[in-house]
Structures are given as structure tokens and as C-alpha cells.
Amino acid sequence: MEKKENAATIGVPANKTPNDNRQIEEWKRKYGKVFCYEIDGEKIYLRQPDRKTLAAAGVIAKNDPMKYNEFVLKNSFLGGNAELLEDNSVFYGLSQIMDKLVAAKIGELKNL
């Protein structure tokens, strides 16, 4: 399996976990929300996807609905064990919690 480094990764190879909070804080400054998904002692760091990523994923999903989650996850990856994203059972687990990754803030609309 070929290991790839995501362009969004800041100084952390795709198969490595950041060893301190400085990296995570830098990701937060650059991307806003940052998430850590841990399974079997391995971690994946993801950012909240931006509109551009979600729009592209929506176009892809028209032909293959499973590709939506795959595209969003791969384009939200920041660091950690990238090989986990290729594991079907991990992918299915992440797919079940995609709503937390793509959470929206809901405000109150008032008629004035």
C-alpha cells in the first residue's frame, strides 16, 4: 500500500502522529475545527471540510454515493495513520459519524 502525504499536512508525514500540541494548535489556527479519530491505539487527524470540498464531493456523489464520504475524508485528512483511511471497517465507522465532521451552526431566524 502506497503511503501518501496530503497537501494539507503541515510538517507531519501522513503516517505519523503529531508529537505535541503545537501542531494541533497550528492546524486549529489554519483550519478552525480539528478532530482526532482514534481506533485500536492509532489516530487520524481531520479538519472540518470547507465548502469547496463539500461542493466537489456533492458532484462526485451523483454517480457514486460512497465516494462522497471517501472524498470528504481524504480531503479533510491532516495527519496520523493515513493507512487507516484505506481500511473498510474504519471507513464505515467514520462514515457513521460524518455528520459530526460536517456539523453546522444553526442560528435563529427572526421575522423583523
pLDDT tens by residue, 44-92: 999 999 999 999 999 998 888 889 999 999 999 999 999 999 999 999 9
Taking a C-beta distance cutoff of 8 angstroms, is the pair 40, 50 a contact? Answer: no
Cell numbers of 33, please? 475545527
DSSP 66-81: HHHHHHHHHHHEEEE-
Average pLDDT over residues 24-52: 94
Confidence of residue 20 (pLDDT cuts 50, 70, 90): confident
Average pLDDT over residues 34-38: 94
The pLDDT value given to residue 66: 87
Residue, of 107 and 13, whose pLDDT is higher:
107
Distance CA 23, CA 25 (A): 5
Average pLDDT over residues 99-107: 87
β-sheet bridge partners, residue 39: 42
The pLDDT value given to residue 104: 81
Whole-model pTM: value is 0.75
Question: CB neighbours of 45 closer than 8 A, spacing ≥ 6?
Answer: 17, 18, 24, 27, 34, 35, 36, 37, 77, 78, 79, 80
Backbone CA torsion sign across 89, 90, 92, 93: positive
